[in-house]
Amino acid sequence: MSADTFYGSDFGALESFDPEIAGVLVSELDRIRGGLQLIASENMSSPEVLTALGSTLSNKYAEGYPGRRYYGGCSEVDKAETLAIDRCKALFDADHANVQPHSGASANQAVYGAFMQPGDTILAMALPMGGHLTHGTKVSFSGKWFNAVHYGVDKQTEDIDYAEVERLAKEHQPKVILAGGSAIPRLIDFEFFRKLADEIGAIFWVDAAHFIGLVAGKAIPSPVPHADVVTFTTHKVLRGPRSGALVCKEEHAAKLDKAVFPMMQGGPQMHTIAAKAVNFKECATPDYQDYAKRVVENASVLATALGEKGIRPTTGGTDTHLSLHDLQGVGVTGADAEARSDAAGIVLNKNAIPFDPQKPNIASGIRVGTPCVTTQGMGTDEMREIAELIAKAVTQGDADPDHAVSKEVRAGVTDLVTRFPAYSRG
């Protein structure tokens, strides 16, 4: 597939006017095609989603909501947003949806704006244990403006310490209880959190950014029936544009809509909202449901296979699309593992593990995810091959791409991505 074919008929004009940026588009496509993409928070949007993103809807200012805009000329973008809202509500069986947040962090900001005042208390998972920056970390607005109390994981199971959650909730009486994070391999007990929130009179919020695509594909249980509000990104397993959204119970709809606009954002990105509409339609298909189930199956096999190579999966494995691995047993840091893998054409990320003795920028672990490679059509046999390649790169390789092991592993990577190409060349 040529750059013209992939990027559309206007690519030649861009290449002529701005060859530097055109070159970046081509080289990024080559980078995606040339390596194994194992970042758990990434995926490969369809050409249909990308087409909506690159449309004339990008030109339109549309502050407000469908039928209630502050600008004229919104008749067509109103159609796009209404479709996105209706499809989102149907996909997640939700009372209400807001598709305007620019990102997961923007959606999270809206929850704080709707339900909390500066100084109020939130109970959330600690970042080093698998949480997220916007869950009350001191360097984030959430930690600067709100009183964050954090729970962690049990030292034995490495899964959420539910006893600690209950103890802290009853002790601190938070305004909001938050479940979810960026490195949680296991399913979350949403019923437990709902019951606890009701007991202390708190709002129950789920940040489902990482796993919402598995919910859409009916591969794991949904938090929507249990939570007051669920925020998420649309670009991870969901495989849509890089953006965010939220769904909530009807009683909270007006408050959350006002928190998105005008409290936290101005004009929505209508081209991105149209791309979300396309994505939600894709996610409602049987093909996507099959995809979501294969993502989970692949992640489980990959986690187990890495464990057999001495790269231990925390919690003993995974129920989702990602696994977190402890490298201490092989004597390699997360930073070194990331660099060695990158040199061999494997893209993954260093990650703190529970009770990590290393600093976050070094880390003792890596996080691996299967959304991208599953999108490319790889299955469980390929996951075992990938585990072999990762183990060799991490334990025997080097950050130098010209190192003998780096070259050997890259040859294996090239074989895999040739058999299962990203954005097929046709």
Residue 425 reports pLDDT greater than 70: no
Integer Cα distance of 319 and 161 in angstroms: 17
Sheet holding 365-369, edge to edge: 312-313, 322-326, 365-369, 349-351
- Residue 160 shares a structural domain with residue 275: yes
Contact 423, 34 (CB under 8 A): no
**What is the model's pLDDT at position 426?**
45
Residue 1 reports pLDDT greater than 60: no
- Residue 103 shares a structural domain with residue 85: yes
Q: Is 251 annotated as a binding residue?
A: no
Share of the chain above pLDDT 70, in %: 98
Q: Is 250 annotated as a binding residue?
A: yes
**What is the model's pLDDT at position 424?**
82
**What is the model's pLDDT at position 6?**
73
- Residue 67 shares a structural domain with residue 193: yes
- Residue 242 a catalytic site member: yes
**What is the model's pLDDT at position 5?**
65
What mean pLDDT value characterizes the chain? 97
- Residue 423 a catalytic site member: no
Catalytic residue among 15, 33, 51, 63: 63
Q: What average pLDDT does this structure show over 65-94?
A: 98
- Residue 256 shares a structural domain with residue 311: no
Last residue of a domain, one of 257, 284, 311: 284
CATH number at residue 270: 3.40.640.10
Q: Is 302 annotated as a binding residue?
A: no
Catalytic residue among 242, 258, 309, 407: 242
- pTM of the entire structure? 0.96
Q: Which domain holds residue 150?
A: 54-284
User: CB count, 10 Å around CB of 195?
Assistant: 13
Q: What average pLDDT does this structure show over 280-290?
A: 98
- Residue 63 a catalytic site member: yes
- Residue 228 a catalytic site member: no
Residue 291 reports pLDDT greater than 60: yes
Catalytic residue among 42, 207, 257, 319: 207
Examine residue 240 and state whether it is found in any structural domain, yes or no.
yes
Catalytic residue among 121, 231, 233, 375: 233
- Residue 89 a catalytic site member: no
- Tens digits of residue pLDDT in 322-371: 999 999 999 999 999 999 999 999 999 999 999 999 999 999 999 999 99
Integer Cα distance of 342 and 410 in angstroms: 10
Q: How many domains does the chain have?
A: 2
**What is the model's pLDDT at position 7?**
73
Q: What average pLDDT does this structure show over 309-333?
A: 98
Share of the chain above pLDDT 90, in %: 96
Q: Is 150 annotated as a binding residue?
A: no
- Tens digits of residue pLDDT in 251-273: 999 999 999 999 999 999 999 99
**What is the model's pLDDT at position 338?**
98
Q: Is 321 annotated as a binding residue?
A: no
- Tens digits of residue pLDDT in 210-223: 999 999 999 999 99
- Residue 305 shares a structural domain with residue 242: no
Catalytic residue among 236, 294, 312, 410: 236
The tokens for 300 are: 């489980």
Residue 2 reports pLDDT greater than 80: no
